[in-house]
A and B are shown apart, each in its own frame.
Chain A
Amino acid sequence: MEATISTFVLLTITGLGLGAMYFLVASGLSLIYGLMGVLNFAHGAFITFGAYVAWWITDQIGGSFEVRLLVGGACGLAFGAALGALVELVFIRPLYRRPVEQVLVTVGLALALGALVYGIWGADAKFFPIPDWTLDTTTILGANIPNDRFVEIGVAAVVLVGLIALLRFTRIGLVIRAGVENRAMVTALGIDVRKTFTLVFAIGGSLAALAGVLSGVYYGNVDPVRGTSLLIYAFIVVVIGGFGSIGGSAVAAVAVGLVQQYANFYVADWLDWSGAGDVSVMLLLASVLLLRPEGLAPKVAH
Chain B
Amino acid sequence: MQARRLVVPVVLLPLLVVVPWLSVDLPFVLPGALDSPGSLQLLALCLVFAGVALSYDLLFGFTGLLSFGHALYFALGVYVPAIALTEWEWSLPAALALLAGVAIVVPLVLGSVSLRVTGIAFAMVTLAFAQAGNVIVQTNPGGLTGGDEGIGLNVDPLPDFLVGVVNTKNLYWLALGYAVAVFLIARAAIGSSAGHVWRAIRENERRVEVIGLRPYPYKLLAFVLASFLAAWGGFLWLLLIGVTPEVTTATFTLTLLVMVVLGGAGARFGALAGGFVYTLLDYRLRNLAGEERIQELPDVLRVPLSEPLFLLGALFVAIVFFAPGGISSFPARLRSLVHRRAAKESAS
B16 at the binding interface (Cβ < 8 Å) = no
A selection of 5 A-B contacts at a CB cut-off of 8 Å is A39-B123, A103-B66, A119-B303, A119-B307, A289-B121
Distance of A98 Cα from B300 Cα, bound (Å) = 33
Which of A110-161 touch B at CB < 8 Å? 110-116, 118-120
B251 at the binding interface (Cβ < 8 Å) = yes
A289–B313 touching, CB < 8 Å = no
Contacts known (A39-B123, A278-B135, A290-B113); A108 close to B303, Cβ less than 8 A: no
Binds A, one of B33-41, B79-87, B170-178, B314-322: B314-322
Distance of A236 Cα from B310 Cα, bound (Å) = 26
B314–A112 touching, CB < 8 Å = yes
Distance of A3 Cα from B40 Cα, bound (Å) = 61
Which of A237-273 touch B at CB < 8 Å? 238-239, 243, 273
A33–B120 touching, CB < 8 Å = yes
Distance of A279 Cα from B123 Cα, bound (Å) = 17
Question: Which residue in chain B gives the minimum CB-CB distance to A91?
Answer: B317
Which of B75-101 touch A at CB < 8 Å? none
Contacts known (A111-B312, A232-B131, A293-B117); A116 close to B136, Cβ less than 8 A: no
A162 at the binding interface (Cβ < 8 Å) = no
Question: Which residue in chain B gives the minimum CB-CB distance to A232?
Answer: B131
A191 at the binding interface (Cβ < 8 Å) = no
What residues on A are CB-neighbors of B320 within 8 Å?
95, 101, 104-105, 108
Question: Which residue in chain B gives the minimum CB-CB distance to A39?
Answer: B120
State how many angstroms separate the Cβ of A273 from the closest Cβ of chain B: 5
Contacts known (A105-B320, A115-B308, A285-B124); A273 close to B251, Cβ less than 8 A: no
Distance of A33 Cα from B119 Cα, bound (Å) = 13
Interface residues of B (CB under 8 A from A): 66, 113-114, 116-117, 120-121, 123-125, 127-129, 131-132, 135-136, 138-139, 141-142, 250-251, 254-255, 257-258, 261, 303-304, 306-314, 316-317, 320-321, 324
Residue from A39, A114, A279 in contact with B136 in the complex, judged by beta carbons closer than 8 Å: A279
Distance of A111 Cα from B257 Cα, bound (Å) = 12
Which of A66-97 touch B at CB < 8 Å? 91, 94-95
A274 at the binding interface (Cβ < 8 Å) = yes
A100 at the binding interface (Cβ < 8 Å) = yes
B127–A101 touching, CB < 8 Å = no
Residue from B136, B306, B317 in contact with A275 in the complex, judged by beta carbons closer than 8 Å: B136
A108–B317 touching, CB < 8 Å = yes
Distance of A101 Cα from B320 Cα, bound (Å) = 6
Distance of A131 Cα from B129 Cα, bound (Å) = 38
State how many angstroms separate the Cβ of B316 from the closest Cβ of chain A: 4
What residues on A are CB-neighbors of B308 within 8 Å?
115
Contacts known (A278-B135, A285-B128); A228 close to B250, Cβ less than 8 A: yes
Contacts known (A39-B123, A111-B254); A236 close to B314, Cβ less than 8 A: no
Contacts known (A110-B254, A116-B310, A232-B250); A290 close to B316, Cβ less than 8 A: no
How many residues on the A side are at the interface (Cβ–Cβ under 8 A)? 45
Known: A104-B257, A232-B131. 4 other contacts (CB 8 A): A105-B320, A111-B316, A236-B128, A239-B121
What residues on A are CB-neighbors of B321 within 8 Å?
94-95, 105
A289–B117 touching, CB < 8 Å = yes
Distance of A57 Cα from B197 Cα, bound (Å) = 56
A193 at the binding interface (Cβ < 8 Å) = no
A10 at the binding interface (Cβ < 8 Å) = no
A184 at the binding interface (Cβ < 8 Å) = no
A109 at the binding interface (Cβ < 8 Å) = yes
Contacts known (A111-B316, A116-B303); A293 close to B136, Cβ less than 8 A: no
Distance of A250 Cα from B136 Cα, bound (Å) = 28
Question: Which residue in chain B gives the minimum CB-CB distance to A106?
Answer: B317
Distance of A112 Cα from B304 Cα, bound (Å) = 9
Distance of A103 Cα from B261 Cα, bound (Å) = 12
A107 at the binding interface (Cβ < 8 Å) = yes
State how many angstroms separate the Cβ of B230 from the closest Cβ of chain A: 19
Distance of A112 Cα from B306 Cα, bound (Å) = 12
A55 at the binding interface (Cβ < 8 Å) = no
B124–A282 touching, CB < 8 Å = no
State how many angstroms separate the Cβ of A242 from the closest Cβ of chain B: 10
A114–B124 touching, CB < 8 Å = no
Residue from B121, B261, B307, B313 in contact with A109 in the complex, judged by beta carbons closer than 8 Å: B313
Distance of A293 Cα from B119 Cα, bound (Å) = 11
B257–A274 touching, CB < 8 Å = no
A286 at the binding interface (Cβ < 8 Å) = yes
A289–B131 touching, CB < 8 Å = no
Distance of A283 Cα from B66 Cα, bound (Å) = 20
A235 at the binding interface (Cβ < 8 Å) = yes
Question: Which residue in chain A gives the minimum CB-CB distance to B255?
Answer: A111
Distance of A39 Cα from B257 Cα, bound (Å) = 15
Contacts known (A119-B303, A232-B131, A293-B121); A112 close to B141, Cβ less than 8 A: no
What residues on B are CB-neighbors of A281 within 8 Å?
128
